[in-house]
Amino acid sequence: MQARVVATGSAAAREEVRRALTGRRADWRSVVFHGVLLLTLLVALVVLLVLLADVARAAIPVLQERGGEFVSSGTSSLPVRAGIKQGLIGSAFLMLFVAVLSFPLGIGAAVYMEEYAKDTGFTRFVNTNIRNLAGVPAIVYGILGLALFVGLLGDVVGPGSVAGRSLLAGGLTISIMVLPIIIITTQEALRAVPRSIREGGFGVGATRWEVIRSHVLPNAAPGILTGTVLSMARALGETAPLIMVGAVTGFFVAQGGPGEQLQERFTSMPTLIFAWTKKPQPEFQDLAAAAILVLILAVFLVNLAAILLRNRYERRW
């Protein structure tokens, strides 16, 4: 090899070293391996695109023909008259339940576990328990709702003809189901706040709650918010527990004001889709596709919000 002078640190030197080490050959096996790995990720993208295209193909004619009327009509046995109004209302109510019940409880539990509890056997037991709850299949939560709210508390949550199969029972069930997810994501957000922030608060004589309120929670807020927004998306798309608790898969007429509706029969977007998917008439398949397009756009929007939120506020300490 002939001696050559190349300034160290220059791009030319780097290239020289690289060539000497790789022997000037492109490493095809590495390239293929790299490509295969990238492909596994792109499969996810392709699936999403095909799914959207497939749904849209069946959905767009329906939405074009029915337009706003599809959104404003209720359930019906006739495909030309069936709409998603009650599904939308039901889903909105369910998300409201999660926001009102699960957020405060979940965040409270997480604050206790991270900020107050000492590392004892009991604390570890509670933590393991929460993690397990997050892994319990959704349908088992449905059975819980069926036994507890419909069976045991049926007279309270839905007296009269609905026999406990009310929106209240569904909302409580979904809230219990997403609670562990909210606790876990909030715990992670709290853990990411460095000790020094807390110590600053204690240093000026604040009590623990004052430190949490003024220092810890504001700093953990973006993480908590992201987690809770994702759990909303989960609540929006969940079906199995609602079917158990008796979300209506047929047709019904919703009556009364919002207060009375809580104790009435209900349906939700995913339940409606499930019901339409199972109907023999082909028109209902297209209706299901149209409802899916609406649902999926809602879920994606909620998710997008979470991702943007995280990217916007993500902070490294």
Task: Write out the binding residues for another protein, residues 247-306 only, by CB under 8 A.
Answer: 249, 270, 273-274, 277-278, 285, 288-289, 292, 295-296, 299-300, 302-303
One of 63, 143, 305, 309 touching another protein (CB under 8 A) = 143
Residue 112 makes contact with another protein by CB under 8 A: yes
All residues at 6 or more sequence positions from 133 whose CB lies less than 8 Å from its CB, including other chains: 179, 180
The stretch among 7-15, 67-75, 241-249, 252-260 that binds another protein (CB under 8 A) is 241-249
User: Can you say whether the dihedral through the CA atoms of 145, 146, 152, 153 is positive or negative?
Assistant: positive
CA pair distance 208, 128, nearest whole angstrom: 25
Per-residue buried b or exposed e for 73-108, using 16+ beta carbons within 10 Å of the residue's own CB: bbbeeebeebbbbbbbbbbebbbebbeebbbeebbe
Is 145:118 a contact under the CB 8 Å cutoff? no
Contact track, another protein, 177-206, x by CB under 8 A: --xx--x---------------------x-
Please report how the helices 217-237 and 167-191 are oriented relative to each other, as an axis angle in degrees rounded to 10: 140
In the range 58-77, which residues lie near another protein by CB under 8 A? 58
CA pair distance 262, 171, nearest whole angstrom: 9
**With respect to another protein, which residue has the nearer C-beta, 162 or 233?**
233
- CA 75 and chain centroid, separation: 26
In the range 113-132, which residues lie near another protein by CB under 8 A? 113, 115-117, 126, 128-132
CA pair distance 180, 188, nearest whole angstrom: 12
Q: State in angstroms the smallest separation of the CB of 164 from another protein.
A: 13
The stretch among 33-41, 69-77, 194-202, 254-262 that binds another protein (CB under 8 A) is 33-41
Q: State in angstroms the smallest separation of the CB of 261 from another protein.
A: 22
The stretch among 23-31, 70-78, 80-88, 215-223 that binds another protein (CB under 8 A) is 23-31
**With respect to another protein, which residue has the nearer C-beta, 120 or 255?**
120
**With respect to another protein, which residue has the nearer C-beta, 254 or 292?**
292
